[in-house]
Amino acid sequence: MQKFDSIRPFYDSEVNDALSDVIQHPMMKALMNFSAPDVPDEVWKSQLMKTHSIRDFQCNFIYQSARKILEKSSEGLTTSGFEHLEKNTSYLFISNHRDILLDTTLLNATLFEHGLVMTASAIGDNLVKKSFLKILAKLNRNFLVLRGLSPREMLQSSKLLSEYIGQLLMHENRSVWIAQREGRTKDGNDATNPGVLKMLGMASDEKKVMDYFKKIKIVPVSISYEYDPTDVLKMPQLMAEANNEIYIKEKNEDFQNILSGVLGQKKRIHIHVGKVIDSEIDAIVADEENANKQVLALAQTIDDAVLTNYKLWPTNFIAYDLLHKTNQYAHKYTENEKSLFERRLELRIDHDNPKLLEGFLAMYANPVVNKLKYTDAL
């Protein structure tokens, strides 16, 4: 279907040629030497040249990279909820978004381990300006979300994107991952942008869009990192927004964020997948006739699932207590965990800048604040 050529990942028939284009690239060598340090270059190059599908590339190479990332830069990944998903079934995973690369990589690694359909995943085209990264993204079944468009172009792009997502889910039995809003959450406040749902609904083949949302099997995803390896890198943008200033990214900022996310220390990580949003949609339709309000209610339903199932770590409770100058959650962490977090603060944040300090703490504390909105959620 040529109409999707500008945004789609590679077809399997294109995979081997794409690998030939990047096999000598120094970043491919770095990736492979990191993932399989004991394997000679000629061996992995030979294996790559025998790869003729995205699935083979993901299972034999990207999955190994994910395991190595977890081994080198975390204290392990735990998961929950995957037992409720059915095999050979496609789902639309709507997820909170913390790390450019890892959120989808770790979700797919877990889906693979459970024998479930892996995802095609949305990625902003601003993140793959380097040709190597674009090829790698398309090899890893990423499809492009075009950024920086005029309103008219944005409408056309959204329609194409929604049709492609519908094509994957309904006709190719391919699961899809999409973030609940544009860009990563930088302040710890995870919230679904109703505009994302409206974009998805543009491809509806039902008279009522809520029937379409039932059909595409929406699954909320909550991912949390004990330490965000890019926390300090997110601060300049947060500070600019706090001062009502326009934030302009540095030239290689996105690439730096990708590297820091992969290699930086994360400690523990948890991914929870919720149940398919189904009866909740029936309740929304029964309560509300206005289509726009129905979409808002669905966004809230996704938020409720993401936030109630979000795994809080000692770092979240420590930040909350430091920010609010309290010991309310002292029973949730040890003195050693607190001193480690305070040491991180000292190394990363200028304590003479109270706004910066407050923003950093809020990034970790806000998930606690958000979970407090739900009775007995803590």
Q: Which helix (H) or strand (E) holds 80?
A: strand 74-80
What pLDDT, in 10s, does the model give residues 3-55? 999 999 999 999 999 999 999 999 999 999 999 999 999 999 999 999 999 99
Let me know: does 319 contact 364? Beta carbons within 8 Å.
yes
What pLDDT score was predicted for residue 377?
57
Q: How many CA atoms are closer than 13 Å to the CA of 166, on its beta-carbon side?
A: 20
**Cβ count within 10 A of residue 107:** 24
- Nearest Cα to 281, choosing from 222, 219, 223, 221? 219
The low-confidence residues of the chain, meaning pLDDT below 70, are: 1, 375-378
**Cβ count within 10 A of residue 233:** 17
d(CA 283, CA 60): 43
Let me know: does 181 contact 192? Beta carbons within 8 Å.
yes
Contacts of 336 (CB under 8 A, 6+ apart): none
What pLDDT score was predicted for residue 341?
96
What SS3 state is found at 276?
A: coil
Which domains does the chain show, CATH number per domain? Answer: 75-309 (3.40.1130), 314-373 (no CATH)
d(CA 179, CA 191): 10
175-179 and 142-145 as β-strands: parallel, antiparallel, unpaired? unpaired
- Report in angstroms the alpha-carbon separations of 342 from 202, 261, 336: 47, 21, 10
- Nearest Cα to 332, choosing from 364, 302, 362? 364
Let me know: does 266 contact 260? Beta carbons within 8 Å.
no
What pLDDT, in 10s, does the model give residues 222-270? 999 999 988 888 887 887 777 787 877 777 777 777 888 888 999 999 9
